[in-house]
Amino acid sequence: MRTVKNITEMQTISRQLSRKKKTIGFVPTMGAIHEGHLKLIRKAVLGCDSVVVSIFLNPIQFDNKEDLENYPRILEADAGLISGEQVDLLFIPDANKVYPPGYKTFVEVKGITQYLCGQFRSGHFTGVATVLCKLLNIVQPNRVYLGQKDYQQTLVTSRLIKDLHYNIEVEVVPTVREKSGLALSSRNVQLSGENRKKAAVVYNSLKSGEKLVKEGERNAAVVGNHILDLLSEEEVIKIEYLSVCNHRTLEPVKTIGKKSLIAVAVHIEGVRLIDNLIIEAA
């Protein structure tokens, strides 16, 4: 595995790979690598000739300074885990080179970004869309691998790829979970052991909501309130949002159709966790 820090060098390598007709699979991350990231990487290894993983803690997608400061930074351990996979290139650009003084260009995806996390994290998806465009222009992949855990981010990415005429496929990989059901996240290490156990209620309440739908419940408010009640049983959990919505537009629905999304964001002792389920009515 080769580590590249220089943006121009990364572009040159990608161009050379394309000239040799190698397909490039790309896994963008913010580091603090866990099994969820590794699953994306393994998918990319299976599907592409060359795999590029990036680690870039994108400052402009953090609306909260403390969240950015507390985000785990363990670059050496990350590089160790990634080098254990068949990754060709680890790209670690410098924030001052990605956003040099005088930087003024931002990419905004409208519509889907006004819901879910977009309602609570001002500027977050502009930060995500902007860095993605940059990384896609630098790495020039054929395929980009993203996790379903960040469902809204996958929609934003697909939208901008289509709208800006990138010739790139998006592969969405199912969420990897701890045994308890808690979705793996770089932020989980910030939870105390006790609260990490309690955080399992996030997934378990979604599953319980899904069960109601499978049993025939179609009223989104009934399903939503059922999930909220279960979440409220854990006092430590502060609910940011719970949405039963259209899985393409993210607009809240009143009646659950064939396929819907239930998405949730909570805070536990200042740590923000998100999760979602796509539910298919029988």
CA distance 34 to 30: 11
Strand duo 24-29 + 143-147: pairing: parallel
Which CB, 30 or 199, lies closer to ligand AMP?
Answer: 30
Which CB, 9 or 171, lies closer to ligand AMP?
Answer: 171
Considering the rule CB under 6 A, would residue 185 count as an interface residue with ligand AMP?
yes
- What is the four-CA torsion angle of 5, 11, 12, 16, rounded to 10 degrees? 120
Which CB, 91 or 220, lies closer to ligand AMP?
Answer: 91
Active centre residues (catalytic): 37
Considering the rule CB under 6 A, would residue 61 count as an interface residue with ligand AMP?
no
Residue at shortest CB range from ligand AMP: 147
Give the pair of three-digit tokens for residue 282.
């029988």
Considering the rule CB under 6 A, would residue 272 count as an interface residue with ligand AMP?
no
Query: Least distance from C-beta 75 to ligand AMP, angstroms?
Result: 13
Query: Least distance from C-beta 198 to ligand AMP, angstroms?
Result: 18
Considering the rule CB under 6 A, would residue 37 count as an interface residue with ligand AMP?
yes
Which CB, 175 or 260, lies closer to ligand AMP?
Answer: 175
Considering the rule CB under 6 A, would residue 146 count as an interface residue with ligand AMP?
yes
State the residues that interact with ligand AMP by CB under 6 A: 29-30, 36-37, 39-40, 146-147, 149-150, 173, 175-176, 183-186
